[in-house]
Amino acid sequence: MAAAAGALVPMKGIRRLTGLLLALVPALAGLAQADEGLAWQQQTDRWSVWQRLDKEALGETPQEGQTGEQGGALLVLFPGYSVQRSWAERWAEQLIASPVAGEVTETWVFAGPKSVFYENRELPITASLERLQQSRAFDRVIVVAHSSGSFPAHLWINQLASRAQLGERYRGRVDYANLDGGSGKGLEGGDLALGHAALALAGQWLSVSVHDRVTGSFSANHDAMIGLAKALPEVFTHRLLEVDSGCAANAGWCLHDVPINGRPHDQATFDLERDYTVFTSAHPVTTDWWPVPESE
């Protein structure tokens, strides 16, 4: 029977209602955050940073210049050629929300290279490593590069290794997933391929390509990913993603985006903006390549 208008609610009922409302607040806040996107801190127009808010609330966010153990993982994303930083942030948000990324406490997102082979070296590699130098230590660093993003990723890893303090801190603690990218070998400057010092940082390193079991087709850089694993077998393992992607037969550039979006939006080729930003149950984010520590 419904209560009459203006009827008093017993004190026990008030307490119960209050408890329910308090329980709903975090859930409602989470929905608002999901709708509005994560709070990205723009460092430059080509680099942004996100930090897990619950860690900040606990007072675990490092102060500038502070060193020591922070724990958790730093996720560093290098998207492909011409991908806008804001597009890559949408991809990052999907990764961060997935179960595999529960340990990630901070994420850095770069814009994609302005040219396929990254000739201009325009990303703030030095500035980002200065930030890493000044921060507390992470349990591990997870570097993920798609397509041409592998070239600045290699430069970033090489320069990390060249800094004595960082090289020692992260020896064996840098995981790397090269998603249908390249090796950088033979490119101008010689610094876009992984150098000898960088290999000492290797945790789990994966060269990832895609095979569509329906059409029998492979992603555009499948051979390059096999070649990278063969060239550096001491650090790289080739991981082949077996998928039913919806891509047309021989559509290697459609399959090229499967490591980002499990069901690319254009069956014939890549559609970078939509593949990096539009994720639904029909177009899920791909995480099958996520590097899992050996202990797990």
- Average pLDDT score over residue span 205-234: 98
pLDDT above 80 for 32? no
Question: 150 near 182, Cβ under 8 Å?
Answer: yes
pLDDT above 80 for 212? yes
| Per-residue model confidence (pLDDT) at position 18 | 38
Map tokens 């000044």 to a residue.
134
Residue 294, SS3 per DSSP: coil
| Per-residue model confidence (pLDDT) at position 39 | 85
**Amino acid identity for residue 287 in this structure:** T
pLDDT above 90 for 44? yes
| Per-residue model confidence (pLDDT) at position 105 | 95
| Per-residue model confidence (pLDDT) at position 59 | 42
- As a whole number of angstroms, the distance between CA 178 and CA 154 comes to 10
- Average pLDDT score over residue span 65-83: 80
| Per-residue model confidence (pLDDT) at position 294 | 66
Map tokens 């408890």 to a residue.
19
| Per-residue model confidence (pLDDT) at position 71 | 83
| Per-residue model confidence (pLDDT) at position 293 | 74
Rg (CA), the chain: 22
Q: Strands of the chain (E only): list them.
A: 41-44, 47-51, 73-78, 104-110, 140-146, 174-179, 202-212, 236-243
What would the pLDDT profile of 86-99 be if each residue is shown by its tens digit?
A: 999 999 999 999 99
Residue 192, SS3 per DSSP: coil
What would the pLDDT profile of 138-170 be if each residue is shown by its tens digit?
A: 999 999 999 999 999 999 999 999 999 999 999
| Per-residue model confidence (pLDDT) at position 295 | 59
Higher pLDDT, 277 or 68: 277
Write the CB contacts of 5 (distance below 8 Å, at least 6 apart in sequence).
none
Kindly state the greatest CA–CA separation across the chain.
81
Question: 147 near 113, Cβ under 8 Å?
Answer: no
pLDDT band for 136, please (50, 70, 90 cuts): confident
> Measuring CA to CA, how many Å separate 295 from each of 114, 204, 232?
38, 11, 23
- Average pLDDT score over residue span 227-256: 98
pLDDT above 50 for 211? yes
pLDDT above 80 for 34? no
- As a whole number of angstroms, the distance between CA 224 and CA 209 comes to 9
Residue 141, SS3 per DSSP: strand
The DSSP secondary-structure symbol of 162 reads H
Question: What's the pTM?
Answer: 0.84
Q: What is the DSSP string of 76-117?
A: EEE--TT--HHHHHHHHHHHHHSGGGTTEEEEEEEPPPSSTT
The C-alpha angle 47, 265, 259, rounded to 5 degrees, equals 55
| Per-residue model confidence (pLDDT) at position 144 | 99
Burial of 91 (0-12, 13-18, 19+ CB in 10 A): buried
pLDDT above 90 for 7? no
Instruction: Kindly give the residue spans of alpha helices, DSSP state H, lying in 142-201.
Output: 150-162, 164-169, 196-199
Average confidence score pLDDT of the chain = 86
What would the pLDDT profile of 273-291 be if each residue is shown by its tens digit?
A: 999 999 999 999 999 999 9
